[in-house]
Chain A
Amino acid sequence: MTTVYEAVIGLEVHVQLDTHSKIFCACSTKFGSEPNANTCPVCLGLPGSLPVLNGQALHLAVKVGIALNCEISKRLKFDRKNYFYPDLPKAYQISQFDQPVNGAGWLLIETRSEDGSWKEKKIGIHRAHLEEDAGKLLHEGIEGASLVDFNRAGVPLLEIVSDPDLSSPEEAYAYLTSLKAILQYLEVSDCNMEEGSLRCDANVSIRKRGDKNLGTKTEIKNLNSFKNVQRAIQYEIERQTELVEGGGRVIQETRLWNDVKAQTFVMRSKEQAHDYRYFPEPDLVPLTIESAAIEAIRKELPELPAAKAARFRKDYGLGDYDASVLVQEKALAAYFEQAIKAHANAKMISNWMQSELLALLNSKKLAIQSSPVSAQALAGLVALIESGTISGKIAKDVLPVMFETGQTAQEVVREKGWVQVTDESLIETIADKIIADNSQSVQDYRAGKKQALGFLVGQMMKASQGKVNPKLANEVLARKIGV
């Protein structure tokens, strides 16, 4: 993107609220049931059936609203959004139009600025309202017809609409990560994109830098991962920029992201603009939420990611980046705190978690909760490094064994005989041998080639299978060669 233009991005996130039953009927919300097994007269829209609001859905929606600093409506109601589509049995969706449960709010994201430092940015939340999900249509491999499964119809959704405050694909990614972390901390949704419990549409436009007016936007759908949201927005910004620079105009339209082609394509749709003819849902009574009820829910809220990150920076001296990675997942943060309770070296624990442990977990597709290496065990490993019992290099071999066998670091080190050699007389013996075997390198070092010493230390490490303390090896060699 040239610097002449800037991108203006807003995101609409639909998140499935984690209730047992649907929003307006008692059908199960369970994923993966037989087609149409979780349906009843209400969610199939049969005549004479009446919806009744699931109190828990509203409760969870308010919880999210509080966490996103939203203005919680004291009075709210539901409205019918009218349109025809085969996944919508009633030919209207029960949603909220002018009295959404959550009004304006905000959330903080962390983005990397051009100089590489991390900075916070406040992203406005326009609103977050409750609605029911539609059914699922299957088209693929079916000749001339579509199949409909209404198990999803009536599943509670919270649609969280951001303000157009995001100005890059990276910021959009950061917003989604931050939002997902909050939702998971609140335990209001499992946020599983593959199962459709979190979906995202992106509104993208560009404008001349400094321009106050918004450009014409396109809406991108079919975004099935956060990475693809980022890629699709990047593509769309480039497409719009090229179009405008070539003298063209952006047309307001809905585009679909094609993952394989890595492009967005205009969606075939009827020309007519949508006319949803919202009106109050007469089958549901209006609602009021008392301030006392909001305060009671506020008390239920756990420490949220941003607050936790701030505490990690302040109490444990972690850097911005480390703190934000560790708080991404509640379980990861809990693991970290357990580990430093066992051994108070926050920086080292954080490093070992982020580099070695997460890599091992990823390779086995395990969540931190099911890590075979407990927080206490990882702390034990770090303690052995710090006391000089093993080198950091050996520790990198110890951890995979701990991971594989569930043993503690001490057990592994004892069993394998990997204790670091700190006995100077033993180190001197090895050093003598290495000096005798590598006279050329010794001469080079004497002649001023500093890197020759590194080579000799490497030879010592090799000869001792990495057990020699490298710092001591360095000292002994330098002394013996006598420069």
Chain B
Amino acid sequence: MSFEIEKVAELARIRLTPDEKNKLQSDLGAILGYVEKLKSVDTSQVSETSHVMDLTNVFREDKVLPSDVSAAVLRAAPDRDGKFFRVPKTVER
């Protein structure tokens, strides 16, 4: 199973050493090989599943319940400016 380990790393925003690359290449390769094996199972009689629990239609009522985490989260943030989080300057998307 071939895939571009470098592209995957870039999309995940992680930097890999050559050693890590090799190791992950083989680990992920093994996982993908297993998925490949699963593909050979006949699922024509099985309905499509997007969730492991046999649950549908779980809703929350449209009610406001204030949370008080904001101050604590701001305190724990790497950088802040008053009540804002402060991050390195970003260009427009």
Q: Mark B5-42, 1 if CB is under 8 A from A, else 0.
A: 00000110100000000000000000000000000000
Residues of B within 8 A of A19 (CB): 62
| Interchain CB contact (< 8 A) of A84 among B13, B52, B57, B81 | B13
1/0 contact trace for B30-68 toward A, CB 8 Å? 000000000000000000001111011111111111110
With known contacts A20-B64, A21-B64, A54-B60, A269–B85 Cβ distance under 8 A: no
Asked whether, in the complex, the Cβ of A36 is within 8 Å of the Cβ of B83, the reply is yes
Which residues of the partner chain B approach A38 to less than 8 Å between Cβ atoms? 66
Are A37 and B70 within 8 A (Cβ)? yes
Tell me which residues across on chain B come within 8 A of A137, comparing CB atoms.
90
Nearest B residue to A57, CB-CB: B62
Contact status B59-A148, CB under 8 Å? no
Instruction: Tell whether, in the assembled complex, residue B93 and residue A85 are in contact, meaning their CB atoms are under 8 Å apart.
Output: yes
Indicate whether A36 sits within 8 Å of B63 (C-beta atoms), given known contacts A148-B85, A269-B93.
no
Give the Cβ gap from A406 to chain B, nearest Cβ, in Å. Answer: 38
Which of A180-188, A229-237, A285-293, A463-471 lies at the interface?
A285-293
Question: How many Å from the CB of A129 to the closest CB on chain B?
Answer: 15
Instruction: Determine the residue in chain B with the shortest Cβ distance to A43.
Output: B67
A302 CB–B CB distance under 8 Å? no
Q: Are B56 and A145 in contact (CB under 8 A)?
A: no
Are A26 and B87 in touch, CB under 8 angstroms? Answer: no
Interface with B: A208-216, A275-283, A309-317, which one? A275-283
Q: How far is the CA of A36 from the CA of B84 in the complex (A)?
A: 7
- CB of A149 closer than 8 Å to a CB of B: yes
Q: For A40, what are the chain B residues with a Cβ–Cβ distance below 8 Å?
A: 67, 69
Q: Is A224 an interface residue (CB 8 A)?
A: no
Which B residue sits closest to A30, measured CB to CB? Answer: B64
Question: A99: nearest residue on chain B (CB-CB)?
Answer: B50
In whole angstroms, what is the CA distance A139 to B70 when docked?
A: 21
Flag if A35 contacts B59 (CB, 8 Å): no
How long is the Cα–Cα vector from A139 to B81 in the complex, in angstroms?
13
Within 8 A of B (CB), among A252-280: 256, 267-269, 272, 275, 277, 280
Count of chain A residues with a beta carbon within 8 Å of a chain B beta carbon: 55
Q: Which of A38, A275, A286 has the most CB of B within 10 A?
A: A286
A148 touches B64 (CB 8 A): no
Complex Cα distance, B64 from A94, in Å, reads: 20
Q: Which of A146, A269, A287, A288 contacts B89 (CB 8 A)?
A: A146
Q: Which residues of A contact B55 (CB under 8 A)?
A: 285
A53 at interface by CB-CB < 8 Å: yes
A279 CB, min distance to chain B CBs, angstroms: 9
Chain A residues with CB below 8 A from B53, complex form: 285
B35 to chain A, nearest CB (A): 13
Which A residue sits closest to B84, measured CB to CB?
Answer: A147
List the A residue with the shortest CB-CB distance to B7: A275
Task: Tell whether, in the assembled complex, residue B63 and residue A55 are in contact, meaning their CB atoms are under 8 Å apart.
Answer: no
Name the B residues within 8 Å of A57 (CB-CB).
Answer: 62
The answer on a CB contact under 8 Å between B64 and A27 is yes
Which residues of chain A are near B64, meaning CB under 8 Å?
20-21, 26-28
Enumerate chain B residues within 8 angstroms of A286, measured Cβ to Cβ.
50-51, 56
Complexed CA–CA distance, A149 and B87 (Å): 11
A39 lies within 8 A of chain B by Cβ: yes
Task: Kindly identify which residue among B11, B50, B89 contacts A145, using a CB–CB cutoff of 8 Å.
Answer: B89
Q: Return the contact of A26 from the options B67, B74, B82 (Cβ within 8 A).
A: B67
Given known pairs A36-B83, A55-B62, A86-B87, the reply for A280 and B51 (CB within 8 Å) is yes
CB pair A287–B57 under 8 Å, yes or no, is yes
Distance to closest chain A CB from B36 (angstroms): 18
Give Cα distance in the complex from A27 to B70, angstroms: 11
The answer to whether A52 and B59 touch across the interface, beta carbons within 8 angstroms, is yes
Asked whether B59 lies within 8 Å of A53 as measured between CB atoms, the reply is: yes
Which of these, A52, A144, A280, contacts B50 with CB under 8 Å?
Answer: A280
Q: In the complex, how many angstroms separate the beta carbon of A130 from the nearest chain B beta carbon?
A: 13
Contact across chains for B11 and A277 when beta carbons are under 8 A apart:
yes
CA distance A287 to B51 in the complex (A): 11
Minimum distance in angstroms from B14 CB to a CB of chain A: 11
CA distance A210 to B64 in the complex (A): 54
A32-55 at interface with B (beta carbon < 8 Å)? 34-41, 44, 46, 52-55
Please give me the residue from chain B that is nearest to A136 by CB atom.
B84
Which residues of chain A are near B56, meaning CB under 8 Å? 285-288
User: With A19-B62, A286-B51 in contact, is A145–B69 under 8 Å at CB?
Assistant: no
Give 12 A-B contacts (CB < 8 Å), ordered by A residue.
A26-B64, A27-B66, A28-B64, A35-B84, A40-B67, A53-B58, A85-B93, A86-B88, A142-B89, A145-B86, A149-B84, A288-B57
Known: A20-B63, A85-B93. 12 other contacts (CB 8 A): A27-B64, A36-B73, A36-B85, A54-B61, A77-B51, A139-B89, A145-B86, A149-B83, A272-B10, A275-B11, A282-B51, A286-B56
A residues lining the B interface (CB < 8 Å): 19-21, 24-28, 34-41, 44, 46, 52-58, 77, 82, 84-86, 137-139, 142, 144-150, 256, 267-269, 272, 275, 277, 280, 282, 284-288
